[in-house]
Structure 1
Amino acid sequence: MEKIPDVEPQLMMGESTNDHQGARVVCYYTNWSVYRQGIAKYNPQNINPYLCTHLIYAFGGLTKDFELKPFDNYQDIEKGGYAKFVGLKTYNKDLKTLLAVGGWNEGSGRWSPLVASKEGRKTFIRSAIRFLRTYNFDGLDLDWEYPAFRDGGQPEDKENYALLVQEFRTAFDREAAKSKKDRLLLTMAVPAGRDYIDRGYDIPKLNKYLDFFNLLTYDYHSAFEPQANHHAPLYIRRGLSDFDSKAELNITTLRRKRNSDWGGKECVKNQAYLYYSKEGTLTNWSQLDWVDDFTIRYYIEEGADRDKLVLGIPSYGRSYTLFNPESHEMGSPAEGPGEIGKYTREKGYMAFYEILGDKYSLNIYDFNYAKAFAAIEIDCFDYKVLGGDYWELQNLDH
């Protein structure tokens, strides 16, 4: 196993220990959204440049020689996708634009041999710096799904991935000193599941060299499970159904706090449901309660700084076809995913605007949801994290 000196990361060119003052609002833009039809078609020029502190362009890919490449050369380069995306900084000088590399389709088959080889890591890092500077990105978001898992994953991936991150940070520091430019940011999309974390991610070492973590705190449940469930639950649901095969999967563990524990602030329980119930289908959105978090707490316990943790927030719902249309509570038995959305065209998946656009979507809805959501970090969230990231930006109500 190749090693490099374990040195402290340096601050470069006016960089602070925080890449952004205040809470981060990280938004992922996917380049395939330009191919959607109607109101679902979404280009970089549709993005409000003041909405987010960090915009991440998903995705870049890897060549067989371990170099960074465009995911869609036609849209990214020929049609000016990159240029339009980073051009948003002309409107908002504080905006940071990053490129995400990887994603679900890249898998471990290419990542694992890349990180296992000293030359592979060096090639990737050099090509990434060249690529990011050429197209005026401010940093790189690593999104390997997932080290030590899927076809090609190896037990050594955990150590090798951390080594890649250490070498990336060293190279970014050196490049900034040489170029006299601000250091490129280095972030990582990381899973919510404990097994994925334990087997694939050296949290203390990653924490030392990353600017922040983007938590994938959604899709805890899929539309192919035998019961309807929240795909991004903040806590274990009460009154679990016999059909609820994975009820223990959640962002949070339930532990009620007294008002005095919040410094005397009154924390009112707010629950929000967004159901779609039509012709035997149901889409769930989110449910809020004031609770301690499991995923975030676990990252902190494993060595992550809480101000480097960015909570993932899905801008979509998972839909189900129910056995009985009259039984549409959480945990109701389902026979498969719901029908495709009008614009997203994917079974078991509906964008936020698709849910809001259907009159049946709002049959149970608490309009305190927005207030409750905004209050999490301000008033009552125990382990305060510095922001949230949205997947995907274009699914929001536009």
Structure 2
Amino acid sequence: MWTPSSPGFAQYYTHLNYGFSPLINANLVIGDPTPAEIAKYNDLLALKKTYPSLSVGMTFGGDIVDISPMSKACATDSARTTFATSTVQWTRKYGFDGIDIDWEFPGDTNRGGTANDPANFVLCMKALRDAIEAEQIPSGKSKLWLSAALPGGAGWGSHYQVDKSIQYVDWFNIMAYNIQGTWFSVAQCSAPLYDPFRGKGNTGNDIDAAVKYFVGQSGNQPGKFNLGMSFWGIAYVLQNPSNNQLGLADTFTGNQKLANPGPCSQQPGYMAYFETVQLLQQNHPQTSLDPKGDCKYFTYDTDQLVAYEDPDTIKVKVQYALDQKLGGVSIWGMDSDTRVLDMHKSVSGVTGVSNSPQSSPSTPGNTSGGSNSTTSSGSNTNSSGGSDSGNSSPQPTRSANSAVTNGISLVLIAALLSLQ
């Protein structure tokens, strides 16, 4: 995780989101942070002194077991008004520049959601937009921005009613990672660019399908979406160690607890990039590339398979975001990079965007008064982590042209680069 002694990552991003705020309390407002949490806020916000163009937001919600407080806070007009107004006040009180909503997932009754959540998500975004527009902006401050996280596909994605909610947000962050995993019958990339089984009994659980779905729902507004990526790899235990190619390798039974955990993260079934690098250096395995999924993989200790991203595969996905004219990219798990920030540098290398102390403040595309319009240069999107599968990774952007400058934004453990 980021600490005050490792601030160098900030030069590669336009926005940072802190994840996560205190939970919603019994009064349906965000709870008060502890002194220790406030100290962390201030550590992150202090980066703006070195990088004045940084915009730092707070992510509210996350991958939590009980989402009923969010459901209740958005259930009625009065509750939404209370929640929205108090959230704007909370955000200002602690010095943040924007509000990021990570509701996983509206309507998930297994987590305390209700059937009314999808419609109420739209109304809650409207209430937040209204509260932002009604705020008397403090002297020397800019209007707060509003973003929201989307899952990595149409399954839960339909519950966000993007065709209606998009008018209220400045950008969406598509959590296009942890799309595949041991809950499927074969080992694959965690976030395949293209599902190699698409059209073969599989509807397409991949980045391309997620992006095409949400952009289509938006009425073709790609600039209001950020492509979410992760630096985490996924680990499997093979049933048949000799069958060790992605797309062919049988997983165990959908339970990742048998996979060796990373020595630092200690999360079975997942591997931070720096841990993957250590394994490669220690074991010298043969690595392979999945050309459709765009991830690399290797086996070690006979039956352990790791599918992972590296600087080369991340570049391909950033270029995809550029080619699709998305607003930006976001990174979940900035703490999983190497000490020399190989992955962050790779993202920035494709976009050509950097954040120097001399740069002027950067603001994502604005949405006001419930309008679908964006700024003349387009809107910038960012995202924080999650998944469409209901299985979550350890929670913790296209290149610029003469008309559009894209960037990156980051949440304490997640980063966002806005490309427009």
2:85 aligned with 1:162:
no
Which residue of 325, 329, 333 corresponds with 2:250?
333
**1:68 and 2:30 are equivalent in the alignment:** yes
Q: Which has the higher contact order (CA 8 A, sep 6+)?
A: 2
Q: In the alignment, does 2:324 pair up with 1:383?
A: yes
The superposition leaves residues 182-228 of structure 1 with CA deviations (integer Å, 9 ceiling, x where unpaired) of 11110001112212122x21212321111110101111122354431
1:343 paired residue number: 264
Give the equivalent residue in structure 2 for 1:358: 279
Matched-pair contact (CA < 8 Å) for 2:17–2:58: yes
User: Which residue number corresponds to residue 92 of structure 2?
Assistant: 133
Correspondence 1:205 to 2:173: no
* Separation in structure 1 between the aligned mates of residue 86 and residue 93 of structure 2, nearest angstrom: 10
| RMSD between superposed Cα atoms in Å | 2.7
Q: Where in structure 2 are there 5+ consecutive unaligned residues?
A: 290-295, 297-308, 340-420
Q: What is the aligned partner in structure 2 of residue 266 from structure 1?
A: none
Shift of 1:229: 1.5
Going from structure 1 to structure 2, the CA distance change for 1:365 and 1:228 (only over 3 Å counts) comes to closer
* Cα pair 2:193 2:317 within 8 Å, conserved: no
Is 1:297 the counterpart of 2:250? The answer is: no
- Secondary structure of the corresponding residue to residue 165 of structure 1: helix
Normalising by structure 2, report the TM-score. 0.68
Question: Matched residues in 2 for 1:106 and 1:203: separation?
Answer: 24
**Distance (whole Å) between structure 2 residues aligned to residue 73 and residue 322 of structure 1:** 44
Q: Please give the alpha-carbon distance, in whole angstroms, between the structure 2 residues aligned to 1:183 and 1:219.
A: 33
Asked if the contact 1:176/1:183 (under 8 Å) is kept, the reply is no
Q: 1:84 to 1:379 in 2, by over 3 A?
A: closer
* Larger displacement relative to structure 2 (176-185 or 314-323): 176-185
Secondary structure at the aligned position of 1:358 is classed as helix
Is the contact between residue 74 and residue 83 of structure 2 (CA under 8 Å) also seen in structure 1? no
The residue identity in structure 1 corresponding to 2:286 is: N
Q: Which amino acid aligns with 1:56?
A: N
Change beyond 3 A, Cα 1:312–1:170: same
Matched, 1:55 2:16: yes
CA contact (8 A) 1:297 1:383 kept: no
1:222 aligned to which of 181, 185, 207: 181
The Cα of 1:117 is off from its aligned counterpart by 2.0
Query: Structure 2 CA distance, aligned partners of 1:380 and 1:69?
Result: 36
Partner of 1:146: 105
Give the deviation of 1:152 after TM superposition.
Answer: 2.3
Higher mean Cα deviation, 230-239 or 59-68? 230-239
Which residue of 39, 47, 51 maps to 1:92? 51
1:168-207 matches, cutoff 5 A = 168-177=128-137, 181-198=141-158, 200-207=159-166
Deviation at 1:380, TM superposition (A): 8.9
What's 1:262 paired with? Answer: none
| Residues 191 and 217, structure 1, Cα contact 8 Å, conserved in 2 | yes
1:377–1:384 Cα contact (<8 Å) kept: no
Q: Which has the larger radius of gyration?
A: 1
| Cα drift, residue 376 of structure 1 | 5.4
Q: How far apart in 1 are the matches of 2:245 and 2:322?
A: 27
User: For residues 240 and 155 of structure 1, do their structure 2 counterparts lie closer, same or farther at Cα, with a shift above 3 Å needed?
Assistant: closer
Look up the SS of the partner of 1:312 in the other structure: strand
Task: Work out the percentage of aligned pairs sharing the same amino acid.
Answer: 25
Letter in 2 for 1:57: Y
CA distance in 1, matches of 2:89, 2:82: 11
CA spacing shift, 1:83–1:51, aligned 2, 3 Å? same
**Residue 319 in structure 1 maps to residue 235 in structure 2:** yes
Is the 2:318–2:329 Cα contact (8 Å) retained in structure 1? no
How many angstroms apart in 1 are the aligned matches of 2:234 and 2:320? Answer: 29
Aligned pairs (5 A) from 1:267-306 = 293-303=208-218, 305-306=221-222
What's the secondary structure of 2:20's corresponding residue? strand
Residue by residue, what CA displacement relative to the aligned partner does 1:280-310 show, whole Å, maximum 9, x if unpaired?
A: xxxxxxxxxxxxx221111111116211110
Q: Report deviation, 1:75.
A: 3.3
Residue in 1 aligned with 2:315?
A: 374
Q: Deviations over 1:222-250 (max 9, x none)?
A: 23544311110111215999xxxx85442
Residue 250 of structure 2 aligns to which amino acid in structure 1?
A: P
TM-superposed deviation, 1:52: 1.1
Moved more, 56-65 or 230-239: 230-239
The 10-residue stretch of structure 1 (172-181 or 208-217) with the greater mean CA deviation from structure 2 = 172-181
2:59, 2:101 within 8 Å by CA — same for their partners in 1? yes
Separation in structure 2 between the aligned mates of residue 124 and residue 251 of structure 1, nearest angstrom: 35
Which whole-Å CA distance do the structure 1 matches of 2:58 and 2:186 have between them? 36
Matched residue type, 1:312: G
Q: Assess, with a 3 A threshold, how the Cα gap between structure 1 residues 74 and 325 changes in structure 2: closer, same or farther.
A: farther
CA contact (8 A) 1:356 1:362 kept: no
Deviation at 1:327, TM superposition (A): 1.9
**Residue-by-residue CA offset, 1:84-131 (whole Å, 9 max, x unaligned):** 011111111110111101111154211111111222212222221221
The answer to whether residue 335 in structure 2 is matched with residue 394 in structure 1 is yes
Question: Hey, what's the Cα distance between the residues in 1 that align with 2:284 and 2:173?
Answer: 29
Partner of 1:43: 3
The separation in 2 between residues aligned to 1:340 and 1:375, in whole angstroms, is: 27
C-alpha distance 250-224 of structure 1, shift in aligned 2 (>3 A)? closer
Cα pair distance change 1:396/1:362, threshold 3 Å: farther
- How many residue pairs match? The answer is 310
- Which of 82, 91, 103 is equivalent to 2:41? 82
Q: Which amino acid aligns with 1:363?
A: Q
Q: Give the AA of the match of 2:24.
A: L
